[in-house]
Amino acid sequence: MASAAAAASKIIIDGSVMEGGGQILRIASALSCLTCQPITVQKVRAGRSKPGLRPQHLSGLQLVRDLCSGELIGGSVGSTEITFIPSKIKAGRYVADTKTAGSVVLLMQVSMPCMLFAAGLTQVTLKGGTNAEMAPQIDYTTLVFQPMIERFGVQFECDVKRRGYYPKGGGEIQVRTTPIQCLQPVDITDVGQVTKIEGRAFVAGVLPVKIAKSMADTASSIISSRFPSIPVHVKAVQEASAVGNGCGIIVVADTSTGCKLAGSTLGKKGVPAEQVGKEAAEMLLRNLDHGGCVDEYLQDQLIIFMALASGTSRVLSGPLTLHTKTAIHVTEKLTKAKFNVQKVFGEGDSERSIIECEGIGLQR
């Protein structure tokens, strides 16, 4: 249990500022765990239609609590204030289950930084939605996030055991991390040239594979018209193991300097497959047009790793998203890391940002 001194020294965080959603909880609880600083998050999701903790947010907080044998006060669905008092991170095997279609990727976001600083190999089994609205798809995690985050010296495995879709969820992934002594800084400021574009369009459940083919063909056609000399290959897949019906597509551009940028979309009832493919292709092209090295979804996910690394990290991105601004705000509040963002302009006056951070060099 927490000591009175620890509870009294907690850092107060306004959960309604900036992005005002679950991201504040994820970053704050992970950094609380890593830096051994008690926190209280007030006004949790105050501006949302259903304020307070949802099952997904609660599952993430409980997972971090278990990882460090900490104490969570106010941990119930609907709670608008929580206090988290951490202890030492422990290696082992853990399970988190949203019991809904809540995103397993967001559970991974809150737990992975903590897992890396455990004393030994650590595994989490995460259950919920693998491809959910308002969250990166699991395909994005394996195709974009994983290879890009490895630049910090991170090593992890992510096995998709079963896919799960709205409304039931039922998906499952297993994430295993190799312990790290200290994260190394990165310099991701040279985007290079696009060398190839690949992707996967998928259907699951009773949906016919022709839907995936339509998504893939439409996306390929739009991208090829912009990059006629670059190989574009988007495969259509019928998922073998899944709970519920779902469909979607992700397209990923590889560059000569090892950067990966993506566009992705989930299908919805009543939306033609061609429209889904079109939206994913146009998202990728927007991310390529700004000339940055990372897309809009990777941008904010890098912030916590930049802050923990030893030395100065620099990342060239497109315009800062609200999620990235929120991540920087919370990270600076809980660490001594200092961020500097400089606007630069590329071809056609496209706005880009150089995100620079002097990390704290956290060591296990």
Domains 1-88 and 194-289 share a fold: no
Q: Residue positions in the annotated binding site for ATP?
A: 109, 297-301
Specify the fold of 1-88. Answer: Translation Initiation Factor IF3 (3.30.110)
For the cut 70, the answer to whether the pLDDT of residue 3 exceeds it is no
Instruction: Determine the pLDDT at residue 145.
Output: 98
Q: Which residues pair with 14 in a beta bridge?
A: 42
Q: What is the C-alpha to C-alpha distance for residues 123 and 284, in angstroms, rounded to an integer?
A: 32
Residues labelled as active-site residues: 323
Residues 218-247: tens digit of each pLDDT: 999 999 999 999 999 999 999 988 999 999
Q: Residue positions in the annotated binding site?
A: 109, 297-301
Helix (H) or strand (E) run with residue 325 in it:
helix 322-334
Which pLDDT band holds residue 4 (cuts at 50, 70, 90)?
Answer: very low
Average pLDDT score over the chain:
94
For the cut 70, the answer to whether the pLDDT of residue 216 exceeds it is yes
Cβ atoms of 265 and 280 closer than 8 Å: yes
What average pLDDT score do residues 276-284 get? 98
Instruction: Determine the pLDDT at residue 8.
Output: 52
Q: What CATH number is given for 194-289 in this structure?
A: 3.30.360.20
Instruction: Determine the pLDDT at residue 364.
Output: 83
Instruction: Determine the pLDDT at residue 5.
Output: 44
Residues 152-204: tens digit of each pLDDT: 999 999 999 999 999 889 999 999 999 999 999 999 999 999 999 999 999 99
Among 297, 300, 299, 261, residue whose Cα is nearest residue 281: 261
Amino acid identity, residue 304? I
Going from N- to C-terminal start, the domains of the chain cover: 1-88, 194-289, 295-358
More reliable by pLDDT, 89 or 241: 89
